[in-house]
Chain A
Amino acid sequence: MWSMRALQTALSCFAAAFLLGAVAFFVFGQPALAAEPAPRRVVSMNVCTDQLAMLIAGKDQLHSVSVLASDPRTSAMAVEAKAFPANHALAEEIFLMEPDLVLAGTFSARATIGLVRRLGFRVETFAPARSFSDIRDNIVRIGELLHRRRRAAELVAEMDDGLARLRAGPHSGRTIALYEPNSYTAGGGTLASEIFRAAGLINVAEELGVTGSTRLPLEQLIMARPNLIGRSSSDYGAPALAQENLVHPAFRALAKREMIDLPVAKMICGAPFTLDAAFLLQDAAGRRNQP
Chain B
Amino acid sequence: MNAGRRYPVLIALLAVLTLALFLLSLTIGPAGIAFAESMKALFSDKADGVALIMREIRLPRALLGLMIGATLGLSGAVLQGYLRNPLAEPGLLGISASASLGAVLAIYTGLSAAFLLALPLAALAGAVAAVLVVQAIAGQRGGALLVILAGIAISSFAGAMTSLALNLSPNPFAAVEIMFWMLGSLTDRSMTHVWLAAPFMLVGWAMLGSLGRALDALTLGSETAATMGVELRKVQFLAVFGTAAGVGAATAVAGAIGFVGLVVPHILRPLVGARPSRLLPASALGGASMVLAADTLVRILAPERDLKLGVLTAIVGAPFFLWLVFRTRRSLL
Interface residues of A (CB under 8 A from B): 67, 88, 90-93, 95-96, 98, 105-107, 109-112, 114-116, 118-119, 128, 184, 211-214
Contacts and interface: CB of A to CB of B under 8 A. Distances in A.
Given A90-B188, A106-B113, A96 B30 contact: yes
A91 B57 contact: yes
Contact of B170 (A112, A115, A214): A214
Contact of A88 (B56, B57, B174, B306): B306
A95 B49 contact: yes
A95 B172 contact: no
Contacts of A95: 31, 49, 52-53, 57
A90 B30 contact: yes
Contact of B171 (A109, A110, A118, A213): A213
Interface stretch (B82-90, B189-197, B323-331): B189-197
B123 to A, nearest CB: 13
B45 interface: no
Given A111-B193, A114-B116, A115-B188, A213 B172 contact: yes
Interface string B187-225: 111101100000000000000000000000000000000
A114 B190 contact: yes
A212 B170 contact: yes
Contacts of A107: 173-174, 176-177
B295 to A, nearest CB: 14
Contact of B112 (A91, A110, A118): A110
Interface residues on B, range: 20 to 34
A96 B49 contact: yes
Contacts of A67: 304
A107 B173 CA distance: 7
B29 interface: yes
B190 A211 contact: no
Interface in B153-204: 170-174, 176-177, 185, 187-190, 192-193
Contacts of A96: 30-31, 49, 53
Nearest to A67: B304
B119 interface: yes
Nearest to B254: A111
Contact of A92 (B31, B116, B174): B31
Q: B29, B30, B31 — which one has the most chain A CB atoms within 10 A of its CB?
A: B30
Given A90-B30, A211-B170, A110 B116 contact: yes
A111 B188 contact: yes
A95 B54 CA distance: 12
A178 B201 CA distance: 49
Most buried by B among A67, A118, A128: A118
Contact of B188 (A112, A128, A184, A214): A112
Contacts of B174: 107
B163 to A, nearest CB: 14
A84 to B, nearest CB: 16
Interface in B246-305: 303-305
A90 B306 CA distance: 9
A111 B252 CA distance: 12
Interface string B97-135: 000000000000000110010010000000000000000
A67 B306 CA distance: 12
A111 B172 contact: no
B56 to A, nearest CB: 6
6 contacts: A107-B174, A107-B176, A109-B188, A110-B177, A114-B192, A119-B52
Contacts of B113: 106, 110
Contact of A110 (B30, B49, B119, B305): B119
A153 B15 CA distance: 62
A190 to B, nearest CB: 9
Residue in A91, A106, A211, A213 whose Cβ sees the most chain B Cβ within 10 Å: A91
Given A88-B306, A107-B177, A114-B116, A119 B171 contact: no
Given A106-B113, A110-B119, A111-B190, A92 B170 contact: no
Q: Which of A90, A96, A116, A211 has the most CB of B within 10 A?
A: A90
Nearest to A116: B188
A35 to B, nearest CB: 27
Contacts of A105: 173
B173 A128 contact: yes
B120 to A, nearest CB: 10
Contacts of A115: 56-57, 188-190
Contacts of B304: 67, 88
A96 B303 CA distance: 16
Give me the 6 closest cross-chain CB pairs, A-B, nearest first: A212-B170, A114-B116, A112-B188, A107-B173, A91-B188, A111-B188
A119 B52 CA distance: 8
B287 to A, nearest CB: 22
Contacts of A93: 30
A67 B52 CA distance: 25
Interface string B29-55: 111000000000000000001001100
A143 B187 CA distance: 31
Nearest to A98: B49
